[in-house]
Structure 1
Amino acid sequence: MAYDDSRFRGEPGFREEPDFRSGGVPEDAPTLGVSNQSVYTPGAFPVSPAYGTPPGESTLGLGAAGRRRSPTPQQLGDVFDDPEHGEPGRDRFAVHALWELVLLLAAGALLYLLRDASPAALRGTELHSLLLSGAELGLVALAMGLTLRAGAPNLAVGPIAFASALFFANNSERGLVMTAAITGLVAVGVGVVIAVLVVAFHVPGWAASLGAALALIAWNANQSGEKVVAGAYDPHKHAMWWALGVAALAVGGGVLGLIRPVRRGLGRFRPVRDPADRRGGGAATFTGLAIAGSGLLAAVAGVLVALDERTVAAGGADTSLGGFAVTAVALGAALAGGTSAFGRRGGVLGTLLAVTVVTLLLRYTDAEGWKLQPVALAAGAIGIGLVVTRLVETFGRPRTAAETAQEEAWTPPSITAPQPEPEDNWSPPSTRTGSWPATSDYGNDPGETDRGWGLEERWGTR
């Protein structure tokens, strides 16, 4: 029988007490428009639905559990990312580091094999020739890698280098510095023509540069062998410095590529939706500069070849395609170094290590007497590079929103709600004994006790 049975209301000695189950407020008390129930969230203040969010607070950034969570540094860095320029988020570079470690081990193995096959190749004049060969190929590979990152590969870098060597050798008697400067300007002009075709008509870089390469091959085929003027500068004396300079240029470019705005700005021409959509003025500017710069690097490589070989033969080995074989080897080195065929992504030491591997492999096979054609080596390098591109695109892309949310998932700590302390002098028995008092003044006598009122009867649920 419940204590508040209506049969006892109004009887003498009946005392009506507040119901403490609602927090000490009687059920019929006015609430001033506030709901009896409130929302309790672990780690947050109780907020009544009638009042909504406390002043000064915002519901933005609240997690699934209702806890206010500040944005992460990665989310703050992604605020200014344009989704049209690629996935928001930071590219991952672990795949580049692992692949560059593989290339480093391959270069070390080839160096060991070359030392056993031909010890003379690593000292004296042969070492200087080896270093110059690596520098020449490295400049062309850097030119190719630059345009690959821009999303507009320039397939004309080989023919530009070969044409630059022919032009420089033919006009070397007019002064080396002046002739080298003019050669560089002409090569940059060819790059500008390709860049205008690419960015103005928004066509693929490989298609526009292939047309320019064919035109240069036709021009190269009509030239005769040229010799550099006697007494011209001999780069063999500074072969080590040439190699170190190209290595520094490669590493410096890779480090700049680690800077997020530089990498994204250079790779804006990379298609992310419909490739026919124009990528904007910024993308056109960066891509045009990259193609023009690749022409300049190829011209420097051509001048170095002319000074190294002293005689530039228009129909010799490796030049039967007018320098296009050099393009193929440079493309294979850039792709095998970890530069993505789709643009933007690339490593730091990858191109340098790939060029080292190719140079050592060509010299080692020559020392062993094997007939390894450069175009065959280029085919293998391109095949490996395409596999590397897939690895880079798979494991180098930014984390998706689902992956980021899973990593940043927050588990609220377990919080135990405070329990009310029992009254000091209240000892409820396990069962109620006794009966209701017969006197009419029960509850008014100070000497009366509970007479067996149990805690479960007084505080229990009705």
Structure 2
Amino acid sequence: MRPVPVGWQEARAMAYDDSRFRGEPGFREEPDFRSGGVPEDAPTLGVSSQSVYTPGSFPVSPAYGSPAAESTASLEPDARRRLPTARQLGDVFDDPEHGEPGRDRYAVHALWELVLLLAAGALLYLLRDASPAALRGAELRALLLSGAELGLVAVAAGLTLRAGAPNLALGPIAFAAALFFAKNADRGLLMTAAITGLIAVGVGVVIAVLVVAFHVPGWAASLGAALALIAWIMNQPAERLVAGAYDPHPHAMWWAIGVAVLAAGGGALGVIRPLRRGLGRFRPVHDPADRRGGGAATFTGLALAGSALLAAVGGVLVALDERGVAAGDASASFGGFTVGALALGAALAGGTSAFGRRGGVLGTLLAVAVITLLLRYTAAEGWKLQPVALAAGAIGLGLVVTRLVETFGRPRTAAQEAEEAPWTPPSITAPPPEPDDNWSPPSSRTGSWPATSAYDTSRDSDRGWGVEERWGTR
């Protein structure tokens, strides 16, 4: 049986590897391009000596262009399209553990503050018709001082609400400060006021230590402090200021303007994104019992101590306004929980979220104006509206406002931004021009010449190296 002839490529490989044929006439040793070897007399095909050759790839002349450069150039428009925007760069520094990334929306605050402004204007008009004297002379000054006193405690309540640790002891702190100041006013007004403020800050620090160190809700720790203060207040006799003490009535307008600037300035500072997020980091996000970090503890502690100081200033102003404090009247208009509840209701109804962090600019100020005018108007009409009932209504309304703020004030989600973003067509990059000649380099992935051009059998026929004759039989 005649053996099956071996293919010319296998035959060539056998001849190349067989050392018996090396050195015989007509034998030509050819390099194996698969291993990366290049003969010295091989045509350069335009490749300069500066071209870099690596095994497994074919050097390409700069005249033919660099594939890597072409691919990079074709990706440049996509890379430019993927560059982050200024808003996205701002979100890079937002920690998802401290709230949703992105800027809070203020449209809901602006609309609600417009409603409060209209309500205050309506009450002012009704009060002018019911009692014109309430807006003139001594009654106007008393009305302005009442608004300033409530405004100081309301700003304090809004501060602790934004910090995520509401302080329910603000009312008792204010009443205790008024009682202490009236009792020791004979030692000097400025010195007594300073000592009163320091004692109030100490109470705030105690509450802050409980809240921050043990990471407990602010309302729980402050409630315990409020009960302790009320117990102390109940055991104190009535006190009156000494004759000749400072009378704030001639400067009632300035007191009201100062409190208004304080409230509006605090709201404006809350618009600044780093301050807003830093102050609201104690706000629970996942598990409320998880600690929020050192930054959150610092801001919350400062907020609680500062709120106690503001409440003490309000209490001192009450003592100067009323010229005395009755300790047994702890449940009256500015004693015990009543003023604290009114202040909390004003902060919530003004647009400050009960969950913390979020709030408007003029909301608390306008809510204080509405509550003050409503109390004066009902008194002018002879209606029996208890301040406690008004505080309950304000808190209830504030909780509804909180839901609106949390629903329409949070940053837009990625899905909402994708829906509202205008569609831009993708950029199209033209393909690189084809070279003038038909030569193309071999694939860089294989690093070898095409099999069809590796060997020319006609040269073997001319030299008597016919495949059938040479390798047909053995």
Q: CA deviation at 1:314?
A: 1.6
Q: Is 1:54–2:71 an aligned residue pair?
A: yes
Corresponding residue number in structure 1 for 2:436: none
What amino acid maps onto 2:244 in structure 1? G
Within a 5 Å distance, the mapping from 1:133-282 to structure 2 comes to 133-282=146-295
Residue aligning to 1:299 = 312
* 1:17-36 deviation digits (Å, cap 9, x = unpaired): xxxxxxxxxxxxxxx999xx
Q: State how 1:382-461 maps to structure 2 within 5 Å.
A: 382-412=395-425
How far apart are 1:313 and its partner, in Å? 1.0
Distance verdict in 2 for CA 1:103–1:56, change over 3 Å: same
Question: Which structure would you say has the larger RCO, counting Cα contacts within 8 Å and 6 or more residues apart?
Answer: 2
* Corresponding letter in the other structure for 1:383: G
Secondary structure, counterpart of 2:81 in structure 1: coil
Q: Does 1:331 align with 2:331?
A: no
Determine if contact 2:351/2:402 at 8 Å carries over to the other structure.
yes
Equivalent position SS for 1:78? helix
TM-score by length of 2: 0.74
CA contact (8 A) 2:205 2:304 kept: yes
The answer to whether the 8 A contact 2:233-2:330 is kept is no
Q: CA deviation at 1:260?
A: 0.1
Assess if the C-alpha contact under 8 Å between 2:163 and 2:356 holds in 1. yes
8 A Cα contact 2:175 2:334, kept in partner: no
The offset of 1:342, in angstroms, is 0.2
CA distance in 2, matches of 1:53, 1:341: 57
In structure 2, relative to structure 1, the CA distance for the partners of 1:344 and 1:161 (3 Å cut) is same
How far apart, in 1, do the equivalents of 2:224 and 2:70 lie?
65
Q: Of the two, which has the highest radius of gyration? A: 2
Contact in 1 for aligned 2:163/2:279 (Cα 8 Å): yes
Name the CA distance, whole Å, in 2 between partners of 1:129 and 1:320.
14
Q: CA deviation at 1:323?
A: 1.6
Secondary structure, counterpart of 1:100 in structure 2? helix
SS of residue paired to 1:136:
helix
Q: Does 1:71 align with 2:84?
A: yes
Deviation at 1:108, TM superposition (A): 0.1
> What is the total number of aligned residue pairs between the two structures?
370
1:370 aligns with 2:383: yes
Deviation at 1:224, TM superposition (A): 1.2
Q: Residue deviations 1:341-381, cap 9 Å, x none?
A: 00000000000000000000000000000000001000100
Distance verdict in 2 for CA 1:410–1:135, change over 3 Å: same
Shift of 1:408: 2.6
Kindly provide the amino acid, as one letter, of the partner of residue 135 in structure 1: A
Residue 56 of structure 1 deviates from its aligned partner by: 6.8
Alignment match, 2:353: 340
Give percent identity, aligned residues only: 82
Name stretches of at least 5 consecutive residues in structure 1 with no aligned partner.
1-31, 35-47, 419-462
Structure 1 CA distance, aligned partners of 2:190 and 2:215? Answer: 36
Find out whether 1:319 has 2:361 as its counterpart.
no
Structure 2: which 5+ runs fail to align?
Answer: 1-55, 59-65, 432-474
SS of corresponding position for 2:270: helix
The letter of the residue matching 1:299 is A
Alpha-carbon deviation of 1:397? Answer: 0.2
Displacement of 1:70 in angstroms is 2.6
Q: Secondary structure at the match of 2:156?
A: helix
Q: 1:129 aligns with which of 138, 142, 147?
A: 142
CA distance in 2 between partners of 1:210 and 1:152 (Å): 12
| Structure in which a larger fraction of residues adopt helix | 2
In structure 2, C-alpha distance between the alignment counterparts of 1:97 and 1:57, rounded to whole Å: 47
Change (3 A) 1:321 1:356: closer
Preserved contact between residue 220 and residue 322 of structure 1 (Cα < 8 Å): no
| Paired AA for residue 231 in structure 2 | A
* Range 282-291 or range 318-327, more displaced: 318-327
Structure 1 residues 52 and 213 mapped into 2: Cα distance closer, same or farther (>3 Å)? farther
TM-score w.r.t. length of structure 1: 0.76
Contact map agreement 2:175 2:330 (CA 8 A) in 1: no
